Structure 1
Amino acid sequence: MPKEQLRYDRMVETALRGVVRDALTEVAERGLPGNHHFYLTFRTGYPGVEIPEYLASQYPNEMTIVLQFQYYGLDVTDDHFEVTLSFNNVHERLVIPFAAITTFADPSVNFALQFQPLAAAESAEVSSMPPRAAAERVEEKVEEAAPAEEPKRGEVVALDAFRKK
């Protein structure tokens, strides 16, 4: 019988998703400080993602949103966040589980995280973590991105892209 091992990779992923949750929680409570803004890429077909059908068909795999100037009703829970964005002058409510996020970046401070997609069963680890636990273990207004500005689906964002030269 093989010995079970501690899954440090999952622990780190869970802690880093907690960083995203904590950042969004602070923004929901206080607004975006200074020049901070977020690029969030998520898997549109992930269980629990709620986006309008026309967006799901336009972005069948991944979608990137930018939280910067215009966003409404940012609500953050232990396992997901909700936000209203404007698409072609129509306000749409998005529900995005943290486990669906594949990339989080704040270019204003050259910070980016890239995640391995979680299986639905593994997402329970993310939702069972206390909201502020990641901040203790890890140091370290929303505007729709115009379709022409969004990264291509499947594009990998390297941390070097956000570092000053």
Structure 2
Amino acid sequence: MKDIKIESTLTVYDNFNELPSDIASLMEKAIEARKNAYAPYSNFSVGAAILLDNNQIVTGNNQENASYPSGLCAERTAIYYAGSQYPDAKIVKMALTAGSRISQTITPIPPCGACRQAIAEYEVKQKTPIEIYFMGETGKVVKSNSLANLLPLGFDRSFL
């Protein structure tokens, strides 16, 4: 028997103003997308903005449904739109922001498990890492250089 140690390195910006200008611009798009989320059940809105290698920016937000499993998270809304409209483009960077309509969200909120799996699929497909930046409504912003930092020992097509 042996132990395996898994480590992740994340960069934490103290606030939005510390972000490089290109990332701040991408995060602004995610913030705008979050404002249009349809979240009448959870009152928790999420916005995503994706920069593609063709310089297109695709946004998405969560879309809830009274039949909870039928809704879709912001990250997957944006990723699947990018995949359908720009099938040959690679995802370079993602900016994510989430907030509650009930109380202020200041803790950085990473993608949920299902979204991590969807992002992993595209990272494997395009054979390049995707930078992911995530935040609450305000406060710290976390950067991961790759989805692999957020989902170690991921499941992908190599297991099938």
TM-score after normalising by structure 1: 0.28
TM-score after normalising by structure 2: 0.29
